[in-house]
Amino acid sequence: MCGLACAASCSDDFESASSVTSVRVLAVQLDTPFARPGAAVSMTMLAHDGGAPRDAGRPLSIAWFGGCDAPDDDSPAACYPRLAWLRALSPGELDGTVARDGVGHGPRFTYRVPPDLLERHAARVGEPVARGLSYVYFAVCAGRLVADGAQRPRAGIPVTCVDAETGREAGPARFVSGYVPIRAYEGLVNHNPVLGEVSVGGAVAGPCDDARACGEGRRCVEGRCELSLPRCDADARDDCPALDVTQAVMDESYELDDATASTGISAEGELLWVAYFTTSGAFDAPVATLFEPTGGRRPKGESMGALRLTPGFTGPMRLWAVVHDGRGGVAWSRVDAVVR
C-alpha cells in the first residue's frame, strides 16, 4: 500500500518509477493542504492505466474509503483494524451503483474533518503547534473492485481487484491501493504549488481550439496542441538523446514553513520538488529538488529532468510533472506528444 507522501512512487527504483506501464496513482491533490477542524476537504486523484492498449483505453474503477482520524502513533497501519467493515461491502457499494456512507467513487472525493480532531490527537514532545491527522484510503482497479473477505493477515485495506469478465484476481499491474494524509491546524495555512508551462526539448505545447491549429498528425488535447518529438533509433534507451524537461513554478509556490516560524526560530522555506512520469521511455533523474532550506532554490530555467524515449517507439505518448511541497501541497501538469 502506498501513501501519497512518496516523492515519485512507492518504489526505491526511481529509474523504473518514472515509466508508467501499469495502473498508477501519480498524485492526489487536496484543495486545502492544511485543513481546519470541521472543514470539508475535497481531493482529486491523478491516475493512469499504463498497461491499457494504446488504441483502446479501459475504464478504471476508483473507490475512496474515509476515514481514520487520530490514529495511534500517526501510523496509517494503525487504521487497518478500523477498516474491517470494508470486508462486508457488496459489489454494488464498491462500484457506486449502491450508496454507502463513507465510500466514494471516481477521481474526486470529499471528506469532512472531525471538529474535535485536534483534541483527539496525542501531542508529541517538541511539537510547537497543535495539529490533527486523518487518513483517507483508496483503491484503483482496471477491472472490478471486490471486498476481500479472507481472514488471513494482510497489509493494506481488505479490497482487491478482479477481471471483470473472468472474476479472477487481476494482479498488481492492474490494481493499486493507498492512502492520503490530511493535516489539520487551527491557524496555519499552506497552498498548493502554482505552475506555469512545461517545456520538452525546448518546445512548449501551444493553445488550440481544434486540431486544425496544430498541424498534420497532431491533435488538440484539452486546449493544447500535442508536441511532436523525434523517434529514437538507437539500440538501447541510454543511447537515445536526452530531452530536457522543465516545469515552470511560480514564485508564490515558494512559501515559508509556518510551523518552523511558530517555534520562535528563523522561518525557513518549505521543501519543494518535482517528480516526472511518462508512458514512453524513462527519466534519467525523475525527481528534482526545486528548493530545500540548506541548498536554496534551483535557478529559473534550469533543466529539471532528462527524458529518454523508448527506442523504435512511434505514436502518442504522455508525460506528467508533479510538483510537491513538504507540507502536503501538490499540483501537476500534463503534456501530450506524438513521436514520429
Residues 6+ apart with CB under 8 A from 325: 33, 190, 192, 193, 253, 255, 270, 271, 272
Written as one letter, the residue type at 293 is P
Domain chopping of the chain, boundaries: 2-185, 195-339
Helix (H) or strand (E) holding 61: strand 61-69
Q: What is the DSSP letter of 107?
A: S
- Residue 12: its pLDDT value, please? 37
Measured between alpha carbons, how far is residue 29 from residues 26, 280, 322, 327 in Å? Answer: 10, 24, 10, 12
Query: Is there a contact between 182 and 111 (Cβ–Cβ < 8 Å)?
Result: yes
Report the predicted TM-score, pTM, of the whole model to 2 decimal places: 0.90
Helix (H, G, I), strand (E, B) or coil at 120: helix
Give the tens place of pLDDT for each residue, 238-260: 999 999 999 999 999 999 886 65
Q: What is the pLDDT along the chain (340 residues), one digit of tens a residue?
A: 556 543 333 333 334 689 999 999 999 999 999 999 999 999 999 999 999 877 677 889 999 998 799 998 899 989 988 898 999 999 999 999 999 999 999 999 999 999 999 998 876 666 778 899 999 999 999 999 999 876 554 568 999 999 999 999 999 999 999 999 999 999 899 999 999 999 999 999 989 998 888 888 888 999 999 999 999 999 999 999 999 999 999 999 999 886 655 444 445 788 999 999 999 999 998 999 999 887 788 877 677 789 999 999 999 999 999 999 999 999 999 999 999 8
Give burial (CB, 10 Å; 0-12/13-18/19+) of 238: exposed
Place of cell 524513462: 282
